[in-house]
Amino acid sequence: MARQVHLYQWPGPAARSYAPELELYMVNVSTVLGIRASLLALAVLLFIPAGRAQTVINLSGRYECVQVKQREVVTACSAAPLILKNDGHFELRGWEGSYLVNGEWVELSDSLLKARARIAPGHKIVLRYYGKNGYVEMIYERRVAELGKTALS
């Protein structure tokens, strides 16, 4: 006489001895689920693009303003330098706060103001903002060789 197994009851060894086809069914289900899980993992690895590893860029140093563009007119700049310190703080024309490098941007902020400057090739930082005379673009450049220095420091 066969023993009945309830749906809510997990078949233990006693149930398998009375219904060996139930054990075979469980193996087939686990095999199918294992194959589906493997296929899902493979699809995730193949179709989700790998994220780029971000490299830590040390931008600390003194950046001199070399060019100002305002109302499509480009002129030489004599503004105060942008100083990025090793500890994550900056100074710019009396404005002090902290900075964070985020991809190709340098985010400058204090408790009230925030600004983003783009990192450009050639040790340059391009700061764009709206001043009282309209859109202004300032290009700051770090000099590689200053007073006998030959390396970035």
Q: What is the pLDDT of residue 76?
A: 94
- Rounded percentage of the chain residues whose pLDDT exceeds 90: 37
DSSP helix/strand/coil, 91: strand
Q: Pairing between strand 89-92 and 95-102?
A: antiparallel
Q: What is the pLDDT of residue 59?
A: 87
Looking at residues 27-42, what average pLDDT do you find?
60
Band (pLDDT 50/70/90 cuts) for residue 131 is confident
Domain count, the chain: 2
Is the same domain home to 133 and 65? yes
Is the same domain home to 95 and 134? yes
Is the same domain home to 25 and 92? no
Band (pLDDT 50/70/90 cuts) for residue 23 is low
Is the same domain home to 70 and 18? no
Is the same domain home to 67 and 38? no
Contact (CB, 8 A) for 68 and 77: yes
Distance CA 113, CA 96 (A): 10
Tell me whether residue 36 is in a domain.
Answer: yes
Residue 152's closest CA among 55, 86, 68, 76?
86
Query: What residue has token string 């690895």?
Result: 45
Is the same domain home to 38 and 68? no
> Positive or negative, the Cα torsion across 101, 70, 63, 111?
negative
